[in-house]
Structure 1
Amino acid sequence: MRVILVDDERLALQQLRKALECDVSGIQVIGMFSDPAHVVEDIKKLQPDAVFLDIHMPEISGLKLGEQLQELVPSIEIVFVTAYDRYAVQAFEMYALDYVMKPIQSSRLQKTVQRLREKIETGEDNKQELEPPFICCFNQLRFQLPGEEAQTVKWRTSKAQELFTYLLHHRERVIDRNTLIELLWPDFEMDRAAKQLYTTAYHIRQTLKSNRMEAVSISSGDLEAGYRLTVGEVRIDTEEWENKVKQLGPIDLHNVAQHEQALKLYKGDYLGDYEYMWAEQERERLRLLWLRHAQDLSQFYMEQGRWQGVIKVNQRIQQLLPDNEESYFTLMQLYDSLGYRGRMEEQYWLLISRLEQEMGVTVSANIRAWYENKKPLHC
């Protein structure tokens, strides 16, 4: 169990850590804080299972801080550590799993930790039961069950994979049989193609069952009408990512960390590992949405003077979209303003290499002119 400790008295922190690590098994203290502000800054990065939190601190009450921590990490369990009498403690219990009275008794601490362990283990079990599976569409189609890593799907045939993916792309809609036949078996006679479609749909159902993805279903109803794929409560990573970006709103100091996380959640192109022409429009739409988001984040960092943030975002753009000239030009201008001539030139020649040598595309005239204009200034 990973825990953090918060107390404005450093000696009290040391004593509690010693009591936890020496008297209780299975506890890992991953952080100790005497400044409440530092807890708020680090809590999301640490993601502890529980916090042992002193009630009486000069800058902020433990009750108030506990509420803030629960907002930042909703799954966290709180144990208050207090010298107050039991009548006062009764008011704290509505916020916390437990409390420990000072001076701390080893037997009482062990009971608290046991309660914590039971609550966390029960919570994990319930979480796995309640969480729906994921269908991953960034780059490669994969299935992810609750509590497990995403797995590549082994399809019976490439036609089965494409039929499933096409129906997923048009989920919750009936796609008529002729459209599917024209897509997958355009050269077959109609009777033969119809049999192939029926057999392939059967193989998809078997694959879903063997991968424990029974929540996803393909219904045919009237075979003359076509097929429909229904995902139910199953989540789709590209859809979740897009909703997250749209819900965050404009970037500011309060939500910039969430925007950074959303940027990382975009793993690559929509079904990018497959040459499905029918997916290209959606692929380009999501790609441009991510690019605009990345550029907005880069601009925010620039306005805040956070140069490392600008560099990281534009390097990420270059990884996913190596032909995006603006990312190179942004870094060229930044490095030039910071006096890093070598890095500025490196960006220019990296752009030349990728566009002209690898893609056969000429670098924009304005970027070339800007670079040529800079050369005499450093000679």
Structure 2
Amino acid sequence: MITALLADDEAHALSLLELLLHQMGEVKVVGCCSNGIEALEQIVRLKPDVAFLDIEMPGMNGLEVAERLEAASSATHIVFVTAYDRYAVSAFENDALDYLLKPLEVDRLHRTVNRVKRAIAYRRAEEREPAPAVTEPAAGAPGNLSVQLLGEIQVSIAGRGRLKWRTSKEKELFAYLAVHYGSRVHRDVLLDELWPDEHYQKAKVYLHTCVSYLRRDLRQLGMEDAVIYEDEKYSLIPALEHSDYREFVETAATLLSSGGNHADSLERMVALYSGRLFRSEDYQWADEEVRHTEAAIEAQLLRLTQIYENQGDYGRMIAAGRRLLQHSPYNEEAYRILMKGYAGSGKHDEVYRVYEEMERKLDELQIQASTMTLSLYQGLKVRKQG
């Protein structure tokens, strides 16, 4: 006999489901409740084989109950009961054994009960089998995980391919959790940041949909339990927190604390930067992180050009100046660096070309070059003529 707990805030829906299960003769209902908080308490206490959870319930909805049970490694199977259409419900299949649509259909309920029976039998068979011996990974096994946030957002594992995002919000959720590495982000913060204009209850459904997608897609890459949920807070497993962005930020902090005057260290940091944070996206919540990252790369490139100038390495000085100009095309300092680099290399025609390029750019802003830039340019012209 299967033991079941039922949770639905609609009394008639709860009574109907209890009656239908009783008529089948294969399910014993051990508890009924009208809200998610009570459902969670009873599941933990009664440990039923299956819980039939309505998605929309006050206080804590069915999705949140399932989330907490997963975090607690509960053995109770979940079946969602909902009025959502099939397309919307498909997002929750990863977190549940099955789902039922309202109004309930007897034949569909029979199929669900049979699925629950098979799942219970499979689990019990697994528990009887001895645990497999732990072996070393075979040669040629999939390589390391790669998480890229600078430039395009990408998650991949060598030998297993790259994660393909189902929706833009799934990708945004991952980006938010990844850029806030080392933190557990409260559910309500995610709702405010990712769905600021949506009704609270609807936003919660959207969030759980994205979490479900993300867990399923990361599982296909061989990463189990990749999204952690605890005390209404979300985070990624440690492996997913190690991204190019994290390495860039931590390297920048190390350079800042040490003075950062060694070309090798600065070059390693610059090499980490493969593009603007979330380059193809427009995440308003990320504006501060983007500004800090851009400011950090520009500051390090400026330090590099100064080191190269002091060393008389004008080729690298010019290359660093060009890269600086890519980040900040209206930055007069970058143009001054290029003019000095080309002058030091004896390429005076390039000095004039850079100055003309700068004038065209500043004309777009309807401003003129500063006195400092004009003085440098005049001095370089005099030096050439001399």
Q: TM-score range by the shorter chain?
A: 0.5 to 0.7
Q: Which structure 1 residue ranges, 5 or more long, are not aligned?
A: 1-123
- Residue of structure 2 equivalent to 1:238: 245
1:246 and 1:307, CA in 2 relative to 1: closer, same or farther beyond 3 A?
Answer: same
Structure number with greater Rg is 2
Specify the alignment match of 1:332 in structure 2: 339
Give the CA deviation at 1:372: 5.4
Deviation at 1:158, TM superposition (A): 1.6
The change in CA–CA distance for 1:365 and 1:148 in structure 2 (over 3 A counts) is: farther
Q: Distance in 2 between matches of 1:272 and 1:291?
A: 16
How far did 1:136 drift?
0.6
- The equivalent residue for 1:266 is 273
Alpha-carbon distance in 2 for matches of 1:125, 1:245: 37
The change in CA–CA distance for 1:169 and 1:262 in structure 2 (over 3 A counts) is closer
Query: 1:274, CA displacement in angstroms?
Result: 1.2
Cα separation, 1, equivalents of 2:185 and 2:326:
36
Deviation at 1:127, TM superposition (A): 9.8
Match of 2:185 in 1: 175
Q: How many residues align?
A: 247
Distance 2:151 2:183 in 1: 24
Show CA shifts across 1:32-68 (max 9, x none). Answer: xxxxxxxxxxxxxxxxxxxxxxxxxxxxxxxxxxxxx
Per-residue deviation at 1:144? 2.9
Does residue 311 (structure 1) correspond to residue 318 (structure 2)? The answer is yes
Q: Which residue is 2:235 aligned to?
A: 229
Give the match's secondary structure for 1:143: strand
Q: In the alignment, which of 147, 150, 155 is matched to residue 135 of structure 1?
A: 147
1:159 aligns with 2:169: yes
* Structure-1 residue corresponding to 2:6: none
Residues 187, 297 of structure 1: alpha-carbon distance in 2 compared, 3 angstrom cutoff: closer
The one-letter amino acid paired with 1:367 is T
Q: Is the 8 A contact 2:146 2:157 kept in 1?
A: yes
1:193 equivalent in alignment to 2:191: no
Structure 1 residue 157, shift from structure 2 partner: 1.7
> CA distance change for structure 1 residues 155 and 302 in 2, over 3 Å: closer, same or farther?
same
| 3-state SS of paired residue (1:197) | helix
SS of structure 1 residue aligned to 2:333: helix
Q: Which residue of 1 aligns with 2:98?
A: none
Please tell me whether residue 342 in structure 1 is matched to residue 349 in structure 2.
Answer: yes
Post-superposition CA distance 1:339-358 (Å, at most 9, x none): 4321111111222233433x
TM-score using structure 2 length? 0.55
C-alpha deviations, 1:240-272, integer Å up to 9, x for none? 1333455565567xx644542332221112222
CA contact (8 A) 1:132 1:145 kept: yes
**Counterpart of 1:332 in structure 2: which amino acid?**
M
Q: CA RMSD in A?
A: 3.3
Instruction: Give 1:159 deviation, angstroms.
Output: 1.8
Could you tell me which residue of structure 2 aligns to residue 209 of structure 1? Answer: 219
Equivalent residues of 1:272, 1:283 under 8 A apart:
no
Alpha-carbon distance, 1:191 to partner: 2.3
Question: In the alignment, is the contact (CA less than 8 A) between 2:211 and 2:227 conserved in 1?
Answer: no
Pick the aligned partner of 2:363 from 338, 341, 356.
356
How far does residue 236 in structure 1 lie from its aligned partner after superposition?
A: 0.8
Q: d(CA) in 2 for partners of 1:125 and 1:265? A: 31
